[in-house]
Chain A
Amino acid sequence: MVWIGAVHTSDKRHQLANKILKNLLTSSQANQLFLSDYIFNEIINNITNKQKSKNITNDERKKIITNIATSIYNSRYVKILKVSRFHIGTAFEYMLKYPDIFSSLTDWSSLILMKENKISVIKTLDPDFMTITQRLPEFKQIQVCKF
């Protein structure tokens, strides 16, 4: 995930993800980055799970979580979109309808939120998004920038 890799040096794609987000924030076009609350949840879960498997002190743990929370949650360029019952219902319906597409419920709900909020570009390290936008006409207008 771009968000995790960007701020976490132990992530295998840290350099690439860090560069993607830095470029977005420093380019003149990007003044707002979006993620869903499900993605935010995944970021925090992923990092806390990694912490559990390592021997780190409570102080280090606190520092890491505070750093992630403040950097993403309080950034003036970041808007966290709320996933509703409607989004989950719709995303689940897509999962049932297209079981051959290996996207998660979070992925589907991200695309549904994008369409609803007219967000046209997704920067991702995940190839499944491209499969969806190429196959399903309702998501065709979403541009997937994969790395």
Chain B
Amino acid sequence: MRRLPVSEASIRDRAAVVGIGQTPFAKSLGRSEYDMALEAILAACADAGVAPRDVDGLVRYDMEQVDEEMLLAALGNPDVRFFAGTAWGGGGAASVLVVAATAIAAGMAKHVLVYRARARGKQSVYGAGKHQGGRYWERLEPELPGLNGWHAAHGLVAAFQEMAMIAMRHRIEYGTTDDQYAEVAVAFRAHAVRNPRAVMRTPMTIADHHASRMIADPLRLFDCCIETDGAVAMLVTSAERARDLRQPPAYVLAGAMAGGGHHIRLSTFWERRRADDGAPRAGRRLWAMAGVRPADVDVAFFYDFFTPLVIMALEDYGFAPVGEGGRFVEGGGLAWPDGRLPCNTNGGQLSEAFIHGFNNTVEAVRQIRGTSTAQVPDCRLAFVAGGNTDPTGAVLLRR
């Protein structure tokens, strides 16, 4: 690909993903997040050929319940000298990797673990804490001092209901259709059918999508990600160190983060122009740091919390003009192998598992290694984005 001039502030090509690991994914595993996290982390270290005691950095989603202290106690008290978290849930699916690469570029750590463990299946509620497994929103406090209070008293209590309102606005402005939503769900399901790790492996048609029940207009059940248990982890190190390890490195070509609107604060969501929202801003910085453009990307991973958000993300990150994301996905636009841009080749959160987007990031590494079950031939450049209705981030991984 042709390289464009690159921006100055840069983590460009400084770090690489050298190990990936995961648990099985299922609607219910009956295991603790702590236990699942350790299985995934040890697998990632083994995959990389790095001893867990040599881990010296930890980056997690800040709502991750398996914290640094718990990991130290379980990993034989390694000398962890850098630890950080990224806020805003699924917005962090790529940002955690940006933070890990930043730590490595700054020389603050050499082997950084990045991980996410989630008992999120409906059967997995194991405690009364707000974020302890299961449906967090069912445990909203009866009195709400925070921003939730502006929504929840009117019956807007869960992320999918807030996303429905954001998706409805996109339909109002651009005429996005049910058929276009279905294209996203059907493409990703077809990827999951090929993936033995995926939870949802029954083939889906556009008619199947339309027949699924309406949850919160315009979202049907099959527009929504699944709720699962599982954990994923990756080990990140410097580009130099990566060349000595056993796996083909997935270099972090570029990464960017950007604050912006959040679905839990709808009253301010439309306060800024869409072009000034988090995802478009992160996108502009990402492309400038990488010196490549969207057309150079071989495979992309969008935060597929809900089908219309994938359509919006295609626009936010410049893969399609604003208002044209719906047309971009038509005719199997996101499907492997022949779509215009194969996306979420693991089946995504709609069909593989809902590990807060981080399972998509792991699959991006598989694509760079050439080991996906829906492998893009000669895959050199993979794009990964966090949730685009949160403060967010995105990364480009390269061979």
Chains A and B bind each other = no
Residues of A within 8 A of B (CB): none
